[in-house]
Amino acid sequence: MNLNNFQIFRNKSLREALVLIEKNQSGIIFIVDENNIIVGVATDGDIRRKLLDGVQLEDSLESIYNKNFVSFSIDTSREKLIKKLDTEVSVIPLLDNKGRLKDIASRKHYPITKEEKIFSQSRAPVRISFGGGGSDLTHYFDKEQGAVINSTISIFSHATLKKRADKKIIIKSADLKQTLTAAHLEDAINKEGSFGLIQSVIKLINPDFGFELLIHSDFPLKSGLGGSATVAAAILGCFNQFRNDPWDRYEMAELAFQAERLDLGIAGGWQDQYASVFGGFNFLEFKKDQNIVHPLRIPKDILLQLEESLILCNTGAIHDSGDIHTSQKEEMKNNDVSKLVKSNVDLCYKMRDQLLRGRLYDFGLSLNEAWQAKRKFSNKISSPELDSIYNKALNNGAIGGKLLGAGGGGFFLFYVESEKRQSLVDHLISSNLTPTNFKFESEGLLGWKVREIDKK
């Protein structure tokens, strides 16, 4: 649309105004002063009436234009403009803050909305695992089939990604309480420091643009909740929003695994990545040729009762999951340990059926059975202090539970009957432990785009 056909200086003639009205085909012309500020409006009807009253075509517009007219700011919402066009006027001038014409809105023409800058955000949930741990290690299911059962909960890692016009990279981690600043991608990947996991993920993504990445999590580091996989998933979720060919969920889980296990070289299993990306209650089978995620359709009342029967408790002790998994790999060369893992896989199938049928008391007992087997996988999984916490919890109402993740510290998960829940909570608090409320989270990794607000 040519805006010059919609505006004319106020000292011009009626004839010149009509020529422009014929060109713009909208039946209207806007009158501007010497500073190009709109001061009035004239329609073809206004001009015809003046001609009938004796005004001549060569007379100036000064005496005939209407100074009382409808106009809106160029930033006016589409909704407001449409409502005005639907009720009162057919053409609206859109002005800048000085009153100069920037565009036209009419019943037949609406200005194209300017494409704003966007940024992406994502969140990925952590998981609690119930059984089968150890069988999701590649060196185990390369020979034997593995299986685990887990669920994501409403504790998340969050990421925000903004593209930059240059190649500069800024990564801020609230979890590490540090910022990495680099001139370009290669510089960012090779910087020494605490950003190893993040650098490994960025290296795999290999973005061709500069960016600002912000990361924060609802959980402490080395908690046993699969937090590192969750951070990796959240980062992938942000970058996936800018891809023309987005990764699917299996691809993102595999990328998260590759970044942590292969590139960074931290030993561990596969379940954390699948859990965080897929979300919900899942039964995962691990085979040499493929990994399969089976969502469990557990009735809502059973899930609610299970939620009321589980207590998440932070021991305050941190653990090194990579070190524990490395130790466990060596221990699995012992045939007895390998048999223990196999028994936990068989138990995992049993626990799946207990959940689906709502046999929650039996499920709680199975948690205890799984933990008693797992703590024998390696001497690094438990300790006298952790054993004491667990046994005292059993003495105060719990019927089962397990240390989450690889072991060595982090969070305990206890199963307790509803009527004994508060008694167990009181005991944990009196023992200087920290019970944590949670809800099951049915969604996995979520990513979305947001328009960037111009704060100028």
> What residues act catalytically?
272
- SS3 assignment for the chain: CCHHHHEEECCCEHHHHHHHHHHHCCCEEEEECCCCEEEEEEEHHHHHHHHHCCCCCCCEHHHCCECCCCCEECCCCHHHHHHHHHHCCCEEEEECCCCEEEEEEECCCCCCCCCCCEEEEEEEEEEEEEECCCCCCHHHHCCCCEEEEEEEEEEEEEEEEEECCCCCEEEEECCCCEEEEECCHHHHHHCCCCCHHHHHHHHHHCCCCCEEEEEEECCCCCCCCCHHHHHHHHHHHHHHCCCCCCCCHHHHHHHHHHHHHHHCCCCCCCHHHHHHHHCCEEEEEECCCCEEEEECCCCHHHHHHHHHHEEEEECCCCCCHHHHHHHHHHHCCCHHHHHHHHHHHHHHHHHHHHHHHCCHHHHHHHHHHHHHHHCCCCCCCCCHHHHHHHHHHHHCCEEEEEECCCCCCCEEEEEECHHHHHHHHHHHHHCCCEEECCCECCCCCEEEEEECCCCC
Amino acid found at 410: G
Question: Which residue type is seen at 436?
Answer: T
Q: Which residues contact 184 (CB under 8 A, 6 or more apart)?
A: 167, 168, 169, 210
**Tokens 């221990």, residue located:** 331
Residue 95, token pair as written in the block: 């002005």
